[in-house]
Structure 1
């Protein structure tokens, strides 16, 4: 029976920063979603299981075969889909056989069903391509789907997938989700895609405290996690109550002793008590006081240890909520008007044709459509980075845009300095207060942007854009959830729910769009063959 077992597994970075320690996990013929904040070691764990990294401490036992999703970042000029299937030589043999150029021995080795099986695998991920299709002719999302088809083609006992739906359009995401929903072997999937995680048989959460398995899909995990956190918080409250009680008892005991000692001294001073008795009482008082102090110290240490253990169980970030200044945007004011616009990047090849769109008041509008349909082109028109060939674009409000790289931030400057640059009218106290609302308190506000994680950078961008005296009336977001962990996504969602201006959002993340209250969708289609 196929299985993956991790025993006492630990991993540290070259500078000795502990990523995780003492992991004990096992995986069978199940689909397991691996979740956790950026930096807790999810990708490192997959690479260790795949053998791409050497084990430092502990042991990994793999029974069965493993298929790893290949990330095709750099392409060779002659690479085709067949290379993702490891079928270049086998297809070359078929071509020679078809041309009558293959020897008798080669004909015996030919796999005559290969092309049909490759076509079937590509169909499973909803990709219209053939084995001979050059990889350079595919978009990034299409290459991801082709790579996944190549992995499942070998029918491994385990799939190891790291963010398989990143950069995919809705159709691509749906195809990957459908494939995994029907997968009956093992799969370990690192993902922040909540729709995909709903198809899992188990969720394994990695935190700085270790890894915990939860049976069931994402919704079931969230229910269990909420109950677990509530119980841990109750335990912490009780532990902190006992700490306070012990401290109060120690104080009362000390005060009683002080009163008693004072009374004894006063009586002795009157001469009513023999000197030898005074000395004996003093010795007893010191002995009793010392014993009481030691008992109090032991009890204090016990309850402090219990409180520390309770705090360790509550490895949480405080719920992210933020109060923003109002934009003052009237409900009937038109903030954006696009009228019969045709535009593109190459003359004679329009990406958008005769497009019209209007946003009034605090509307929340999502722009959706397959990769290549012009979503980013539309945002470039709105922000003035691209001029329309025909038609008109009128922006009648102050706007701000957060792209995937949050390029409005200077990566060499601190979060605080970026805020001051973008909100010159705010004094230091207002700056610090605004950043604190987005969880950049005290020295955290002085972090250099280039040192932040993806989720922190987007949160810093939101703080700088929305934390001013008057936020922009129209906020534009381009795939804001790509490469963010789920905690960061939920923090961004909370910030956007508090914003009362208009939103124009490009995203394929349906859970995110629902969470931020999208009320209208504009779906773009691929340009026709004439373009």
Structure 2
């Protein structure tokens, strides 16, 4: 039997009872399937249910396949090696003992003689230039993502489950991942907003508030079909609305005509030129006609209303997303930031930044670019003060805020509105909720614990916490578009375009950098 994964009547809700997936029926054959949908539609939840990391509230998940998931590889101790983090230290040590001629018979019986070559091939497929002895703490976020991909590949599963795999990856890493997936001949289920990656999918599954719909791949085909379906659904809704208006107008016209006839009869009866028996017969006939007309009008309106409800049910209701930004008052000549001959690194490892000089004056928009591992996030850590320089000086002259891809400014135990009021104490309850509503956190959504939010929802909540009320004159953005759907990215681009403070942005999303009007670029390279 071919490998497959399927779900039947799958339902899952958050611990506080908020429905995320309801009655989902899906099957995944061993092809490359992209999962798309707006933030909060349940994409990551579905992936975790498929992997067995979550248990459904109702329904079943059937796995006729081996599964490997992409997990971020993070060091548990400063000196932990890649082999240790991936659980390969002992099997690789056993092979070294065998090569040195000191292995026991039990060692030789347990040895996986292909492990070294498969490990090297997995690292190569993931585009990671590292060895088993590389310390995980020296890897950038993008390199750690590649390490996680290498681990998933090494398992050689029937299905790969990848959640936003291009997050943190530079152009080379994204190209390596796309090349690998193009050659993958088993199943892959990929949650992503990366249109280039999705273009290589064999099928697309869209999650919406209406459920799940499967389309043939690639992504461009899905978009074409989706546009046609949306146009047809909107046309059906418009037609049903017009039909309902015509039914109501027709009923009103019938009532007005009858009222005029009845009025004429009453006036004639008052003149006394109509026999009493005829007056009674006309009154009875008028009453019968009124009842018949009312029943007919009610039946036609019920039918038209039902058709309109059906037409509207085929259209997803989407709340608008608005990012309002107040002025910061940053003067054009104000010194914002100055780094002088800065050298920095993490732990005892070699420095990743050497002799860095950087000055920002006024509302400049600076993009920090470069491949994974050259120190982009290290530079932001220096500016925000969480990493001291080994030499040189860092001077920040204005208040700042940090919006990173992990939305780390949020306390996961607090509600969204409580986080906002903690970070912006000048906002009262009503003002805080109004600010959150513009970013699609309405009523109960604002009361959700931040720890239950999806990646995209958490980023929107963090954005509200940074930009609500009066934003600081300096914003540090570390891969802010990771996890965000395309509508959210467009809204944030519009909001940041209106921001009049200074921006320092680390991002591999070139379209985003252009949209927010970057005025200067700093391309970091690895130290010589």
Please list, as runs of the form range in 1=range in 2, the aligned pairs for 1:211-290 lying within 5 A after superposition.
Answer: 211-290=212-291
Structure 1 position 122, deviation (Å): 1.3
Contact 1:334–1:361 at 8 Å: present in 2 too? yes
Q: Distance in 1 between matches of 2:486 and 2:335?
A: 31
1:488 equivalenced with 2:488 (yes/no):
yes
Please list, as runs of the form range in 1=range in 2, the aligned pairs for 1:57-136 lying within 5 A after superposition.
Answer: 58=59, 60-72=61-73, 75=76, 81-82=82-83, 90-102=91-103, 107=108, 110-131=111-132
Q: Distance in 1 between matches of 2:325 and 2:106?
A: 75
Question: Aligned pair in 2 of structure 1 residues 39, 50: CA closer, same or farther (>3 Å)?
Answer: same
Q: Distance in 1 between matches of 2:151 and 2:411?
A: 40
Contact 1:10–1:58 at 8 Å: present in 2 too? yes
Structure 1 position 56, deviation (Å): 5.9
Structure 1 position 289, deviation (Å): 1.6
| Equivalent position of 2:31 in the other structure | 30
SS at match of 1:300: helix
Question: Aligned pair in 2 of structure 1 residues 185, 520: CA closer, same or farther (>3 Å)?
Answer: farther
| Equivalent position of 1:390 in the other structure | 392
Q: Distance in 1 between matches of 2:266 and 2:42?
A: 65
Question: Aligned pair in 2 of structure 1 residues 416, 172: CA closer, same or farther (>3 Å)?
Answer: same
Provide structure 2 residue ranges, at least 5 long, that are not aligned to the other structure: none
1:2 equivalenced with 2:12 (yes/no):
no
Structure 1 position 161, deviation (Å): 1.6
Structure 1 position 23, deviation (Å): 3.0
Q: Distance in 2 between matches of 1:74 and 1:257?
A: 83
Q: Distance in 2 between matches of 1:111 and 1:255?
A: 90
| Equivalent position of 1:187 in the other structure | 188
| Equivalent position of 2:154 in the other structure | 153
SS at match of 1:123: helix
Contact 1:362–1:501 at 8 Å: present in 2 too? yes
Structure 1 position 92, deviation (Å): 4.6
Q: Distance in 1 between matches of 2:232 and 2:211?
A: 19
Contact 2:345–2:353 at 8 Å: present in 1 too? no
Question: Aligned pair in 2 of structure 1 residues 324, 278: CA closer, same or farther (>3 Å)?
Answer: farther
Contact 2:203–2:217 at 8 Å: present in 1 too? yes
Structure 1 position 203, deviation (Å): 2.0
Aligned residues: CA RMSD: 4.2
Q: Distance in 2 between matches of 1:84 and 1:276?
A: 101
Cα offsets for 1:433-455 (capped at 9, x unmatched): 766655567x5796477478354
Contact 1:42–1:190 at 8 Å: present in 2 too? yes
Contact 1:85–1:151 at 8 Å: present in 2 too? no
Cα offsets for 1:90-119 (capped at 9, x unmatched): 445423422434456864664433312221
TM-score under structure 1 normalisation?
Answer: 0.80
Question: Aligned pair in 2 of structure 1 residues 295, 496: CA closer, same or farther (>3 Å)?
Answer: farther
TM-score under structure 2 normalisation?
Answer: 0.80
Contact 2:206–2:214 at 8 Å: present in 1 too? yes
Q: Distance in 2 between matches of 1:251 and 1:218?
A: 49
Contact 1:122–1:129 at 8 Å: present in 2 too? yes
Question: Aligned pair in 2 of structure 1 residues 74, 44: CA closer, same or farther (>3 Å)?
Answer: farther
Question: Aligned pair in 2 of structure 1 residues 32, 355: CA closer, same or farther (>3 Å)?
Answer: same
| Equivalent position of 2:312 in the other structure | 311
Question: Aligned pair in 2 of structure 1 residues 78, 4: CA closer, same or farther (>3 Å)?
Answer: farther
Please list, as runs of the form range in 1=range in 2, the aligned pairs for 1:131-210 lying within 5 A after superposition.
Answer: 131=132, 141-168=142-169, 171-210=172-211
| Equivalent position of 2:506 in the other structure | 506
Structure 1 position 34, deviation (Å): 0.8
Question: Aligned pair in 2 of structure 1 residues 393, 82: CA closer, same or farther (>3 Å)?
Answer: closer
| Equivalent position of 1:300 in the other structure | 301
SS at match of 1:243: helix
Question: Aligned pair in 2 of structure 1 residues 154, 415: CA closer, same or farther (>3 Å)?
Answer: closer
SS at match of 2:307: helix
Single out whichever of 446-455 and 287-296 deviates more from structure 2. 446-455
